[in-house]
Amino acid sequence: MNQIELNQSNFDISFQNATGKIPYNMINDYMFRAVLQKNNHVLRGLICSLLHLEEQEVISVDITNPIILGKALEDKEFRLDINVLLNDNTYINLEMQITNKLNWQNRSISYLCRSFDQLHHGQNYSEAKAVIHIGFLDYTLFPDHPEFYATYKLMNVKNQHIYSDNLTLSMVDLTQINLATDEDRSYHIDQWAALFKAKTWEEIKMLAEKNEYLNEASKTMFQLSADEQIKKRCRDREEYYQDLRAYEKAIAEKDVIISNITSENERLRAEIETLKKQTK
């Protein structure tokens, strides 16, 4: 056994022996970005599942906005979405979103249109590449219409005829895995969601047995979890979202206080008007 084989064997043994809580799973947007950027085969597998493609249909998958993994992010609000060019004819934007900022509809549409507007001056509109935006949300966007994997297109509202296949919005609700359809399960989208949400190495290893892509994603996550710089960047993101949630909570509490004060003011005005009428 040569040194490379020995190192791989030791790594496999370490992975199989891993137990307990995962430091940062793929709900953390930095770990999500790191795993998919580090392992192109995993990225291919995820895209095949989401777009219902066979592996042989994928000629190339290139990340067009790579980052230096482990390097500190200068801006805490730095977007960690992944821009992908598939087969040189389709732009795909992947984003992990764990907090509900109440603006996802407009935000996702903005990302979609921005990605579509890639033509240079003088290019023919027929050369425009199709664009797909896929958001992984750790909350339910439409509580009255919960769905695990939803896809939206431009279409005629009367007869549902598709206006264009060049703009597609999809969302995976990571809190609604139980609503996965038979089609979702046949393409293993529910398993990917479970992998992202897994909290222990025991869960990860059970999922890794299901197919090669999940196995590679699990091992890549295990490898990155041993990198101190990667863990620091994941921790930075976690702290950023903790601060964001605290800020949003404070804003919500302030709104409640203002609403209560407004209601009390209206009640007092009504009482004053009643007293005025009684004294006339």
AA letter at 6:
L
Closest by CA to 92, choosing from 161, 138, 46, 158, is 46
AA letter at 139:
Y
Other Cβ atoms less than 10 A from the Cβ of 27: the count is: 19
Using CA atoms, how far residue 36 sits from 172, 187, 199, 214, in Å, is: 17, 18, 18, 12
**With helix as H, strand as E and coil as C, how does 64-100 read?**
CCCCCCCCCCCCCCCCCCEEEEECCCEEEEEEEECCC
Rounded CA gap, 135 and 66, in Å? 18
For residue 167, what are its two tokens? 């703009």
Q: 151 by DSSP, 3-state: which?
A: strand
Using CA atoms, how far residue 159 sits from 9, 51, 145, 155, 164, in Å, is: 58, 24, 21, 8, 14
Rounded to two decimals, the pTM is 0.83
Other Cβ atoms less than 10 A from the Cβ of 97: the count is: 20
Query: pLDDT tens digits, the chain, 280 residues: what are they?
Result: 554 554 666 777 788 889 999 999 999 999 999 999 999 999 999 999 999 999 999 999 999 999 999 998 776 556 789 999 999 999 999 999 988 877 889 989 998 988 888 878 888 888 889 999 999 999 999 999 999 999 999 999 999 999 999 999 999 999 999 999 999 999 999 999 999 999 999 999 999 998 999 999 999 999 999 999 999 999 999 998 876 665 555 565 666 677 777 777 777 787 777 777 777 6
Using CA atoms, how far residue 171 sits from 86, 207, 236, in Å, is: 19, 22, 26
- Its sign, for the CA torsion 111, 38, 148, 51, is positive
Q: Residue 111: CA atoms inside 13 Å, Cβ hemisphere, count?
A: 22
For residue 279, what are its two tokens? 């004294």
Q: What is the pLDDT of residue 271?
A: 75
